[in-house]
Amino acid sequence: MTAFLNAYERHVQALAAQGLRRELPDTGQRWWADFSSNDYLGLSRHPRVIDAAHAALDRYGTGATGSRLLSGNLDLYEAFEARIAADKHAESALIFGAGYQANATVLAALVNAKVLGAEPLVFADRLNHASLHHAFRLTGVRQLRFRHADLAHLRALLEQHAHGDQPKFIVAESVFGMDGDALDVPALAALAREHGALLYLDEAHATGVLGERGYGLTAAPGARVDVAMGTFSKALGGSGAYIACPRAIKDYLVNTCTGFIYSTALSPVVVAAMQAAWTLLPTLDAERARLQQMAADLRARLQARGFDTGASSTHIVPVILGDEARALRARDALRARGINVSAVRPPTVPPHTARLRLALNTGHTPAHLDALVEALASV
Ligand SMILES: Cc1ncc(COP(=O)(O)O)c(C=O)c1O
């Protein structure tokens, strides 16, 4: 056992030497302003969401008691899935226990060479989230990485591979969680159609915040994609995830997706709360507009002081500092002033692009933003 422990300890020490060691934050800490939370609309504390959770707890108890295929299939899941499908203009939807689980296991199921009749080709944005890579590492399917958000590069790669008969997948995020930029979804959807590729888009950071009635960038008619995935863990204030897709894909996943078949259904308490949050989304246009206005103002003020906010165009604003140690120092200096921010380092982001990730939410006030900008300028 000692040899194992020594090996693991050496690995963590090596990470620490490079400024890459991760540590769980102190749970007792209360921040004056928090720019690290993904509760973009404050729905984790919305009274209607909390009431729905209480009612479900009384009606169903704490857990689903089994996989959806065994004892865990409740009316609640079916009703919520029908609602998600309608709002995403999709034929059907399927709920998962977490976003990571959905991406990793749905994609692993979809890229099955035996089922498709040939080894598929996956065209993936270079900055895709770890859960999207996981599926391909798991299955050994090769990814062709296109430059981040560069549809011309994607087109060139698709054209290079236009003559084979391999099935093609395009996999990306609609809003990138560490950069806060958004893809041109209608253009991407058109490109996918042109090349007969299946388009899979992760809407984790768009769900609730962007798109028609807050239902993400794939909810608009011209922007329709084949499979839209989204999480309940960010703007909906809870946990879990959904896939919106054609009925044939839902049937296939119910039969083959390990993360659906072999996992206990999401707790009915969470499902009911997330359904209430989802139903609230169309009423939150003013909050969404305010969030985007705050982000635009913040970017302008930071850029005026010489900070690099990358290509951000949403409520997520990176301050790219480059060096890991610099990002950690800036984070700690802000925390010392009661302002919590996340320092994001490789491998979560590419080498030499360590950053502070500022996530705005509707609870932020002008005073919070003033203090943030002043603190950043002085550190
Ligand atoms: C783009 C993206 N996809 C998926 C996930 C995973 O979602 P979850 O936290 O629900 O597992 C995240 C969360 O970090 C994310 O940022």
Residue at which a domain ends, from 264, 282, 300: 282
Instruction: Show pLDDT as tens, one digit a residue, over the chain (379 residues).
Output: 999 999 999 999 999 998 889 988 888 788 999 999 999 999 999 999 999 999 999 999 999 999 999 988 999 999 999 999 999 999 999 999 999 999 999 999 999 999 999 999 999 999 999 999 999 998 999 999 999 999 999 999 999 999 888 999 999 999 999 999 999 999 999 999 999 999 999 999 999 999 999 999 999 877 779 999 999 999 999 999 999 999 999 999 999 999 999 999 999 999 999 999 999 999 999 999 999 999 999 999 999 999 999 999 999 999 999 999 999 999 999 999 999 999 999 999 999 999 999 999 999 999 999 999 999 999 8
* DSSP SS3 for 308: coil
Going by alpha carbons, the residue nearest to atom 7 of ligand 1 is 99
- The CA 100 to ligand 1 mean position distance, Å, reads 6
Pocket of ligand 1 (CB under 6 A): 98-100, 103, 129, 131, 173, 177, 202, 204, 231, 233, 241
Q: Name the residue of 129, 178, 229, 344 whose CB sits within 8 Å of the most ligand 1 atoms, as the mutation to test its pocket.
A: 129
CA distance 335 to 329: 10
Q: Residue 254 sits in a domain of what CATH number?
A: 3.40.640.10
Q: Which residues contact 163 (CB under 8 A, 6 or more apart)?
A: none
CB 241 within 8 A of CB 98: yes
Residue at which a domain ends, from 282, 313, 340: 282
- The CA 177 to ligand 1 mean position distance, Å, reads 8
Q: Name the residue of 95, 201, 227, 231 whose CB sits within 8 Å of the most ligand 1 atoms, as the mutation to test its pocket.
A: 231
- The CA 147 to ligand 1 mean position distance, Å, reads 21
Residues 41 and 66 both lie in one domain: no
7 falls within a domain:
no
Residues 172 and 262 both lie in one domain: yes
Residues 153 and 56 both lie in one domain: yes
Tell me, what's the pLDDT at 164?
84
Q: Which atom from ligand 1 is nearest to the alpha carbon of 239?
A: 10
Residues 207 and 228 both lie in one domain: yes
Residues 294 and 272 both lie in one domain: no
Name the residue range of residue 96's domain.
47-282
Tell me, what's the pLDDT at 223?
78
Tell me, what's the pLDDT at 27?
80
Residues 316 and 253 both lie in one domain: no
Residues 212 and 330 both lie in one domain: no
2 falls within a domain:
no
Residue at which a domain ends, from 282, 300, 327: 282
- The CA 99 to ligand 1 mean position distance, Å, reads 5
Residues 40 and 144 both lie in one domain: no
| Single-letter residue type at 212 | E
340 falls within a domain:
yes
CB 338 within 8 A of CB 33: yes
Q: Residue 318 sits in a domain of what CATH number?
A: 3.90.1150.10
Q: Which atom from ligand 1 is nearest to the alpha carbon of 177?
A: 16
The secondary structure of 90-143 as a DSSP string is -SEEEEES-HHHHHHHHHHHHT-HHHHTS--EEEEETT--HHHHHHHHHHT--E
Residues 303 and 260 both lie in one domain: no
- The CA 187 to ligand 1 mean position distance, Å, reads 24
Beta sheet of 354-359, edge-to-edge order: 316-322, 354-359, 342-344
- The CA 171 to ligand 1 mean position distance, Å, reads 14
22 falls within a domain:
no
- The CA 33 to ligand 1 mean position distance, Å, reads 23
Beta strands in the chain (DSSP E): 33-34, 92-96, 121-125, 143-146, 168-173, 198-202, 227-231, 241-245, 316-322, 339-340, 342-344, 354-359
Residues 41 and 51 both lie in one domain: no
Domains held by the chain: number = 2
Residues 140 and 102 both lie in one domain: yes
CA distance 356 to 172: 22
> Which tokens hold the place of 139?
């299955």
Q: Name the residue of 229, 233, 243 whose CB sits within 8 Å of the most ligand 1 atoms, as the mutation to test its pocket.
A: 233
Residues 67 and 173 both lie in one domain: yes
Q: What is the DSSP letter of 175?
A: B
> Which tokens hold the place of 235?
């703007």
Instruction: For the beta carbon of residue 275, count every other beta carbon within 10 angstroms.
Output: 23
